[in-house]
Structure 1
Amino acid sequence: MSLDTGRLPPAVTVSGEALEVLRSNTGQLTTEVGQHLEQKLPWYKQLSTEERASLRLIAQRGIAGLGNWLQDPAARSLPLVNELLGPAPTDLMRTISLQRALQLIRTIVEAVEARLPGLMPEADRPPMLEAVLRYSREVAFAIADVYARAAESRGAWDSRLEALLVDAVLRSEPGEQIASRAAAVGWQSSTGVVVIVGTAPDQADAVYLSHLRRQCVRFAADAVVGVQGDRLILLLGGVTDLRNGLERILAHFGEGPVVYAETEGPIAQASRCAQSAFAGYSAAPAWSRAPHPAAAQELLPERALAGDAHAKEALISGIYTPLLEAGHGLLETVDSYVNAGHSLEATARELYVHTNTVRYRLKRITEVTGWDPMEPRDAYVLQTALSVGRGL
Structure 2
Amino acid sequence: MIEEAYPGASRARPTPAEEATTETFLDGFQQILADAAVTGRRLTRPEIESRRLLGARAAEAGHGWRALVRAHLTAGRAGRPAGADPDSVLAVVEQAVDAFADGYERAQRHVVRREEAARREFIDDLLHGRGDPGQLASRCERFGLRLSRTHSVAVAGGPEGYDESDPVPRQVADELFARFENRRILFTTKDGRMVCIAPGDQDDVLTWFGKLVHARVVGSQVAVGRPRPGTVGIGHSYEEALNALDVAQRMGFDDPLLRAADLLVFPVLARDRPALMDLVRHTLGPLEQARGGAQPLLDTLTAYFDSGCVATVAARELSLSVRALTYRLARIHALTGSDPTDPGDRYTLQTAVVGARLLAWPGRPL
Length-normalised TM-score, structure 2: 0.56
Q: Contact 2:153 / 2:241 at 8 angstroms: preserved in 1? A: yes
Q: Which residue of 2 aligns with 1:160?
A: 117
Secondary structure of 1:83's aligned partner: helix
Match of 2:82 among 117, 120, 136: 120
CA shift digits 1:203-262 (9 cap, x unpaired): 52535455544343332423141322x433333348573223332344566754321224
> In 1, Cα distance between the equivalents of 2:110 and 2:166?
13
> CA distance change for structure 1 residues 82 and 281 in 2, over 3 Å: closer, same or farther?
farther
Corresponding letter in the other structure for 1:75:
L
Q: Which residue of 2 aligns with 1:24?
A: none
Q: Contact 2:51 / 2:99 at 8 angstroms: preserved in 1? A: no
Corresponding letter in the other structure for 2:204:
D
CA shift digits 1:129-183 (9 cap, x unpaired): 3233233333333343334333333333333223323332333335334324434
> In 1, Cα distance between the equivalents of 2:244 and 2:272?
9
Secondary structure of 2:186's aligned partner: strand
Q: Contact 1:178 / 1:268 at 8 angstroms: preserved in 2? A: no
CA deviation after TM superposition for structure 1 residue 95, in Å: 3.2
User: Pairwise mapping of residues 286-305 of structure 1 onto structure 2 (< 5 A)?
Assistant: 286-305=250-269
Corresponding letter in the other structure for 1:232:
M
> In 1, Cα distance between the equivalents of 2:216 and 2:99?
35
Asked if residue 63 in structure 1 is aligned to residue 18 in structure 2, the reply is no
> In 2, Cα distance between the equivalents of 1:298 and 1:205?
30
CA deviation after TM superposition for structure 1 residue 279, in Å: 0.9
> CA distance change for structure 1 residues 342 and 207 in 2, over 3 Å: closer, same or farther?
closer
CA deviation after TM superposition for structure 1 residue 296, in Å: 1.6
> In 2, Cα distance between the equivalents of 1:171 and 1:305?
24
> In 2, Cα distance between the equivalents of 1:151 and 1:231?
28
CA deviation after TM superposition for structure 1 residue 64, in Å: 2.3
Q: Where does structure 2 lack aligned partners over 5 or more consecutive residues?
A: 1-15, 274-304, 311-346, 356-366
Q: Which residue of 1 aligns with 2:18?
A: 50
> CA distance change for structure 1 residues 275 and 116 in 2, over 3 Å: closer, same or farther?
closer
Q: Which residue of 2 aligns with 1:217?
A: 177
Q: Which residue of 1 aligns with 2:316?
A: none
Q: Contact 2:196 / 2:209 at 8 angstroms: preserved in 1? A: no
Q: Which residue of 1 aligns with 2:227?
A: 263
Q: Contact 2:129 / 2:231 at 8 angstroms: preserved in 1? A: no
User: Pairwise mapping of residues 55-94 of structure 1 onto structure 2 (< 5 A)?
Assistant: 55-67=22-34, 69-70=36-37, 73=41, 75=43, 82-85=48-51, 87-94=53-60
> In 2, Cα distance between the equivalents of 1:161 and 1:295?
30
User: Pairwise mapping of residues 174-253 of structure 1 onto structure 2 (< 5 A)?
Assistant: 175-183=133-141, 185=143, 187-188=145-146, 190-199=148-157, 201-202=160-161, 204-206=163-165, 208=167, 212-218=172-178, 219=180, 220-228=183-191, 230-237=192-199, 239=202, 241-242=204-205, 243-251=207-215
> In 2, Cα distance between the equivalents of 1:235 and 1:223?
5
> CA distance change for structure 1 residues 185 and 257 in 2, over 3 Å: closer, same or farther?
same
> CA distance change for structure 1 residues 223 and 253 in 2, over 3 Å: closer, same or farther?
farther
Q: Contact 2:72 / 2:93 at 8 angstroms: preserved in 1? A: no
Corresponding letter in the other structure for 1:295:
R
Q: How many residues align?
A: 258
- What is the Cα-based RMSD across aligned positions, in Å? 3.9
CA deviation after TM superposition for structure 1 residue 271, in Å: 1.9
Length-normalised TM-score, structure 1: 0.53
Corresponding letter in the other structure for 1:120:
A
> In 1, Cα distance between the equivalents of 2:236 and 2:272?
11
Q: Of the two, which has the highest radius of gyration?
A: 1
Secondary structure of 1:206's aligned partner: coil
CA deviation after TM superposition for structure 1 residue 291, in Å: 1.9
> CA distance change for structure 1 residues 164 and 60 in 2, over 3 Å: closer, same or farther?
closer
Secondary structure of 2:264's aligned partner: helix
Q: Where does structure 1 lack aligned partners over 5 or more consecutive residues?
A: 1-47, 310-337, 344-379
> CA distance change for structure 1 residues 120 and 184 in 2, over 3 Å: closer, same or farther?
same
Q: Contact 2:43 / 2:95 at 8 angstroms: preserved in 1? A: no
Corresponding letter in the other structure for 1:233:
V
Q: Contact 1:199 / 1:253 at 8 angstroms: preserved in 2? A: no
CA deviation after TM superposition for structure 1 residue 195, in Å: 1.0
> In 1, Cα distance between the equivalents of 2:102 and 2:122?
30
Corresponding letter in the other structure for 2:49:
E
> In 2, Cα distance between the equivalents of 1:172 and 1:185?
16
> In 1, Cα distance between the equivalents of 2:116 and 2:218?
20
Asked if residue 148 in structure 1 is aligned to residue 105 in structure 2, the reply is yes
> In 1, Cα distance between the equivalents of 2:69 and 2:27?
12
